[in-house]
Amino acid sequence: DLTQHIRLIKNNLRVKGHLTAGSSGYLKITDNEIDVSSGGFTLDVANDIVLDADGGEISFRDANSSIAEFSSASSISKLSLFSQADKGDLFKIETTTHGATTMTTTDDDATVAHLTLDIDGNFFINKTGTQLATIANSANISVIELYSNEDTGDKFSIATTTHGATVITTTDDDGTAANLTLQPEGDLKLLPDGDLTLDVAGDIELNADGGDIAFKDDTADLAALSSSGLTVNNISEVGS
């Protein structure tokens, strides 16, 4: 008796058991699941599609194997993308209060969860509408530019081209005050395979707070300059 399984209550159709639909009978609806036994399944709506999961988690799977997951807990919304080779290897984006966002890669067996940004164009780094940096490539030249917060025409750039030839440039678009300071917390070593040339439009100043300036060939002393004078090959040439 169909009346035991199908009831129409206030324009709602209620089915006891499951409902099979479609001309081929591939779609089956039960209490908590829609199954399509053959072919694809399309949601085609005239407006928006809303997925509202009170459990706080929406999963995307392939044959019950997780591909991606949206979740929300403790004021943190998270998108996780899983490796198909190892579900412990994943990439996630987490957003919390004030829009603070963290991107994380995880390799559960090692430390090779590298993050690669492969961009068909330039890469811009902005803060609240102000451009901070650009990474670009044009005519075989790759360029990194860092901009002043006060004037984006004031910038520092590193440009690399064929054979690794690299140019470091500072720019002051309103004057000539784009000074370059190297301030390592340790030694500063220049170790070129070829020559080292210092070619400046003004003066060259060597300021050694230790009081000595040494000139060497490999480890052999050539000359030394100190407050007491200039010594060449251990022979005093100039007095104080």
The arithmetic mean of pLDDT across residues 144-173, rounded, is 95
Under 8 Å between Cβ of 101 and 95: yes
Give, in order, the Cα–Cα distances in Å from 78 to each of 51, 87, 92, 102, 140.
15, 16, 7, 10, 39
Residues 6 or more apart in contact with residue 60 via CB below 8 angstroms: 66, 67, 68, 69
Cα(168)–Cα(29) distance, integer angstroms: 66
> Model-level pTM?
0.64
Residue 9 has pLDDT above 60, yes or no: no
Tokens in use for 160? 């690399």
φ, ψ dihedrals at 97, nearest 5°: -55, 140
Confidence of residue 1 (pLDDT cuts 50, 70, 90): very low
Residue 154 has pLDDT above 50, yes or no: yes
Least confident of 25-29, 71-75, 112-116, 153-157: 25-29
Task: Read off the pLDDT of residues 87-117 as tens digits, 9 standing for 90 and up.
Answer: 999 999 999 999 999 999 999 999 999 999 9
Q: Which of 123, 122, 99, 103 has the alpha carbon at shortest distance from 114?
A: 103
**CA dihedral sign of residues 227, 230, 233, 234:** negative
3-state secondary structure of 59: strand
Is the model more confident about 152 or about 239?
152
* N-terminal to C-terminal alpha carbon distance within the chain: 120
Q: pLDDT at position 234, please?
A: 60
Q: pLDDT at position 3, please?
A: 46
Cα(17)–Cα(5) distance, integer angstroms: 7
